[in-house]
Amino acid sequence: MTTAPATFVKGLEGIIAAQTEMSYIDGVQGVLEYVGIAIGDLAKHSTFEETVFLLWNKRLPTKGELESFTKQLRANYALPEGMIERVRSVPTSAEPMHMLRTMVSALSMHDASPNENSVEAARVKALKILGCTPAIVAAFDRHRRGLEPVAPDTSLGFSANFLYMLNGEKPTEAMTRAFDICMITHADHGLNNSTFTARVVISTLSDMYSAITAAIGSLRGPLHGGANEGVMKMLNEIPSVDAVEQYVMDKLARKERIMGFGHRVYKAKDPRAAELMTLAEQLARDTGNMDLYTKSKAIEKIMEREVGSKGIYPNVDFYSATTYHCIGLKLDLFTPMFALSRIAGWSGHVIEQLGDNRLFRPKAEYVGPHNVAYTPMDNR
C-alpha cells in the first residue's frame, strides 16, 4: 500500500489547518461574522467587552454576565508590581511593538502558575493580559514623552480607560466610541498569520504568555498588522487632494503597492473598512482632519476605477489609519492598537486549541541534492 505524496502549497494558502466557532469570513461576498453575528451589527450595537465575551463563550452574555465579565476585566487593569519599573527601563527610542512583545512576555514572571494550561486557567491568564496591556502601552508612550504614568480608572470601560491613561484626561464620548469600534472590528479574523502563530505555539502545550508574545511578533510585520502605519505614511506623502491622481497612477505604473488596498481573503470590500469609513469621516470632521479623509476617498475612487475589477478594494487598515490619527495616536502606536484588540481573538483561539489540541507538525518538501560526498577540510 502506497501513500499519496503530500501537496506543497506555498504560504499554506487555502489550506484548512484549524476549526473555529469564533469568526466566519466570506471573501467573495465581503462578509465577516463573529459567532454568526455580522461585524456591522456588532460595530453599531455592541461594546468591545461584550464582543470579547461573545468570542470566548460563543454567545452573547446576559446583562448580569456582562457586568460580571466587565468587573473581572477591570480588576486586571493595573500592572503587577515592578512592571512600571520595567517599562521605564526601556529606551525611549524603542519601537512600541518590540516593547509590547517583551513586556507581555515579562508578565509571565508575575504569574504563580504560568504553565497551567487548563481551559479555565487560560481564561484567567487571557483576562490578565487583555486587561493590563493598555497600561503597558500607555505607560511606555508617556515614559518616552517624559511624563509620569497615569494609573488606570476602573470606573471606565476598556477603551475610555486606555485613552485616559494615554492622555491623562477623560476622552470624549465620540473618541471613546470610535476607539471601541476599532477594537471590535480588529478583534478576530479567522486563521490569519498571528492567530495561526498563537495556535501553533500553544499546540506544544507551551503557555498563554508565550502564545500571545509570539502572535505579537507576527503582527508586527508590515505584511500583517504593520500595514496601517504604511497607509498613514502614504497619506502624509501626498501634499494635497489635487496630487492624489498623479501619485496613485505613478505608483501603479511602477507596480508598487498602494497601502491599505487588497487582502489575501477579501475579493470584495473588506466589511470592516465599510464600518471604519463612516467613522473616519465623522472623526475627521470633528477634529479638523478632513484633508486626510478627502485624500482617502480620492485614492479609493481611483483604485476602484483602475483595479476594482481585479478584486482589489480597501482593507481594514485603510480607514483605521485616519481614525487613529484623528483620535490623536502617534503613528508608531497604530499597530499596538491592533494588538490590544487582537489579544481577544488570539486568546479565544488559544482556548479553542487547548479544548481539542493536536500538535501542529506539517512537513517540508526537501528540494536539495542527494548523495553528496563529504569533502575533507583540506580538499575544500
* Cell numbers placing 285: 470632521
45 assigned to active site: no
- CA 228 → CA 114, 199, 322, 334, 336, distances in Å? 33, 24, 9, 7, 11
Which residue matches cell numbers 505555539? 201
Helix (H, G, I), strand (E, B) or coil at 171: coil
Q: Which amino acid is at 263?
A: H
The active-site residue out of 143, 186, 189, 263 is 263
The pLDDT of residue 336 is above 70: yes
Burial class (CB in 10 A: 0-12, 13-18, 19+), 14: exposed
Ranges 72-81, 83-92, 224-233, 361-370: which has the least confidence = 224-233
At 99-136, the pLDDT tens digits run 999 999 999 999 999 999 999 999 999 999 999 999 99
At 143-157, the pLDDT tens digits run 999 999 999 999 999
Tally of CB atoms within 10 A around 27: 16
Average pLDDT over residues 171-200: 94
317 assigned to active site: yes
Eight-state DSSP code of residue 24:
E
Domains in the chain with CATH codes: 23-221+340-355 (1.10.580.10), 227-327 (1.10.230.10)
pLDDT at site 354: 97
The active-site residue out of 111, 188, 207, 317 is 317
Q: How far apart are CA 332 and CA 134, in angstroms?
A: 15
CB-based contacts of 371, cutoff 8 Å, min separation 6: none
At 279-296, the pLDDT tens digits run 888 889 989 999 999 999
pLDDT at site 333: 96
Tally of CB atoms within 10 A around 193: 17
The pLDDT of residue 46 is above 80: yes
**Mean pLDDT for all residues in the chain:** 93
Find the Cα–Cα–Cα–Cα dihedral 61, 65, 69, 75, rounded to 10°.
Answer: 160
CB 337 within 8 A of CB 112: no
- CA 268 → CA 67, 76, 313, distances in Å? 37, 39, 6
Residues in the chain, how many? 380
pLDDT at site 3: 56
How do beta strands 37-38 and 23-26 pair? unpaired
pLDDT confidence bin for 4, thresholds 50/70/90 = low
pLDDT at site 1: 47
Helix (H, G, I), strand (E, B) or coil at 362: coil
